[in-house]
Structure 1
C-alpha cells in the first residue's frame, strides 16, 4: 500500500512539473509579446542562448519569447530526468536504463539542432 502512495506522489510531482513548466513558459512568452508590442525592435531574432540572454538585458521582446519557447522545450526533458529518479526509487532498473537512453537521444537531438543553424 505504501508503494502505491509513493508512486502517486511521484506521478503528482511529475504532473506539477509539467504544469508549472507550461505556465512559466506561457508567462514568459506573454511578457515577450507585451514588450514587443510596446517596444518593437528591428534587430535580428536571437537564435542562441548568449544572444537570448543579451536580449533579455535589453528588454527585447523577441528574446523573451525565445526564452519562453526554450523553457517549453525543456519541460518534457525535465520530466524524463525526474522519471529516471522515480524508476530508480522503485528499483525498476530496466526502465531506468530505457529512460536514460531516451534522455541521451534527447540531448543528442538538441545538440545537433544547435550545431545545424
Structure 2
C-alpha cells in the first residue's frame, strides 16, 4: 500500500489536476455566491433612492473585517454575502500556492519550497499583518 504523503502516490500530473480543479471550483463558487448575493440585494434595494455620491461615507466593520462579514452572512445580510464571495475569490490563489508548496515538499525540491514559502508568507502577511490605521 502506498503512503498518501509520498512522492510515488502523487504524480506531477495529479497535483496539476488537483490545483486546476481547485482553481475552477474556487472561481465558480465565488461567482455563484456573489451572483446570488447581488440578485437578492437588487431585489431588496433595487428601487431605492440614488445615493448622494458628493459626500463620502465609509463603510463599517461589517464589510471590512472577517468577523463582520461572517456575522453578516449568518444574519443573511446581502452585502456581507457579496463580500464572502470576494473572500472566496481571494482565497483561491492562496490555496493554489499552499498546494504547490505541498507538491514541492513531496518532491523535496528545496529551492522551490523556499521560494513558495516566501510567496505564501508575503501574501499572508499582507492580509493579516498590514498596517492598521
Task: Provide TM-score, normalisation by structure 1.
Answer: 0.85
Residue of structure 2 aligned with 1:22, choices 13, 19, 27: 27
Deviates most, 29-38 or 97-106: 29-38
Report 1 or 2 for greater relative contact order, CA contacts < 8 Å, sequence distance ≥ 6: 2
The residue aligned with 1:67 is 84
1:88–1:96: 8 Å Cα contact kept in structure 2?
yes
- Structure 2, unaligned stretches of length 5 or more? 1-6, 49-58
- Structure 1, unaligned stretches of length 5 or more? none
| RMSD (Å), alpha carbons | 2.5
Aligned positions of 1:13-52 closer than 5 A: 13-40=18-45, 46-52=63-69
Q: Which structure's residues are more often helix, by fraction?
A: 1
Question: What's the CA shift string for 1:29-54, capped at 9, x where partnerless?
Answer: 01110120222399956211121122
Q: Secondary structure at the match of 2:76?
A: coil
Give me the whole-angstrom Cα distance separating, in 2, the residues matched to 1:58 and 1:34: 17
* Length, aligned pairs only: 114
Task: Provide TM-score, normalisation by structure 2.
Answer: 0.76
Deviates most, 40-49 or 20-29: 40-49
TM-fit CA distance, 1:87: 0.7
Tell which structure's C-alpha radius of gyration is larger.
2
